[in-house]
Amino acid sequence: MLRLAFLAGLGLAPAVHGATLVASHFAGGVYSLSLTTTGSSGKLAITSQASGCGTTPAWVEYYSDSKTLYCFDESWNGGGTNAQYSVNNDGRLTLAGSTKSSGNTVHGLLYGGPEGKSFIATAQYSPSTITTYKAQTGSSVLQTEKFALSKRGPNSRQDVSHPHETYLDPTGKFMLVPDLGADVVRIFKIDATSGKLTACAAGAASAGDGPRHAQFWKSAAGVQVVYTVNELGNSVSAWSVAYPSDPSGCLSLTRTQTLSTYAPGKKGGSTTKAAEIRVVGNFLYASNRADQTFGNQQDSIATYTIDPTTGAIAWLEAANSYSYYPRTFQFNKEGTLAAVGGQTSSNVAIIERDPTTGKLGKLVATLQVGAKGRAGEEDGLSAVVWIE
């Protein structure tokens, strides 16, 4: 606000800035959005809509160097689609190709090869599998790994293995697969030439945690930590990372800390579910679905500080997500804005972030994208990413 007053005193109008985002919807659409900001206020608008990611787009990954977007279909009808789009300068998407999948894919990304983009790894929630393909569109399955439980978990949803993400370590040599059903973070060693994944010993979560997604962090001195958001336990965990001295060895994880996604002394309700996790600098964020901490259909984002030496986390605050069922969120490269995708409210909310304190602030802009969902159902908005 001081900057706006200063500009006004000089007789100058505040600068207008623009940005582009892409959001996917469980009804089948993939939308390009424009964000225009003037000072601390902004406006979102839908600029185009694309199809081609099957019936139930669930996750999108954007690669800025090639201006390519990958979309993964969570169809439950015995088959799905992995789609590839080229992204024009105005954000418009052009379908560049697709690959048939087994369906029920909840996450996917590129890995392996000389540039880390020769293969695709995807996670299938209910089939209890991860599946890999060559990155060329139309490729057949390269590898399928199916997981089984030795016994059911304490939560009723832990009847089978439920892999929820395929996530790369910073070296690109290992893949982590948080498994909500098995209460483990599965670890795979990557053969960069063939794309083959070889299982390592998994990291063990607490019973009933239900790890869903992961994020890496590294200190200035080289200490590495993995953080997971635990959907069933409404918590986040920190894991110490150990790399092998032998090139043929495996990465290993040791869980060191677990904190609630609610302030000390508080807890979520019977329908609350932690969803997504992000790291920006020395701050950690996790979204809570259906807690309505900030009023009717206004859920929270838990914020933590990260100790710059050890990677230990500490509760900072709960922030308004300005959405209902915030399934997805991502920060811009400057770390000044968060884009939150409310699944049930089916809105994209742009929120201010203070890079110094890590705190989220005022709502800059919001827009409903597609039809609203139903609480607890797989409909509404599914994912949002910045195109930058």
Domain range spanning residue 122?
A: 60-208
DSSP string, 294-350: TSTT--EEEEEEE-TTT--EEEEEEEE-SSSSEEEEEE-TTSSEEEEEETTTTEEEE
The Cα–Cα gap between 304 and 314 comes to 5
Q: Is residue 33 part of a domain?
A: no
Q: Is residue 31 part of a domain?
A: no
pLDDT in tens, the chain (388 residues): 333 333 333 344 456 779 999 999 999 999 999 999 998 899 999 999 999 999 999 999 999 999 999 999 999 988 999 999 999 999 999 999 999 999 999 999 999 999 999 999 999 999 999 999 999 989 999 999 999 999 999 999 999 999 999 999 999 999 999 999 999 999 999 999 999 999 999 999 999 999 999 999 999 999 999 999 999 999 999 999 999 999 899 999 999 999 999 999 999 999 999 999 999 999 999 999 999 999 999 999 999 999 999 999 999 999 999 999 999 999 999 999 999 999 999 999 999 999 999 999 999 999 999 999 999 899 999 999 999 9
Render the burial of 256-293: b for 16+ CB within 10 Å, e for the rest.
ebbbbbbeeeeebeeebbbbbbbbbeebbbbbbbbbbb
Q: Is residue 292 part of a domain?
A: no
As given in the structure block, the two tokens for residue 281 are 């600098």
What is the domain count for the chain? 1
Q: Is residue 386 part of a domain?
A: no
CB 144 within 8 Å of CB 130: yes
Q: Is residue 375 part of a domain?
A: no
CATH number of the CATH domain containing 165:
2.130.10.10
Residues in the chain: 388
Amino acid at 52: G
pLDDT 10s digits, 33-44: 999 999 889 999
Q: Is residue 103 part of a domain?
A: yes
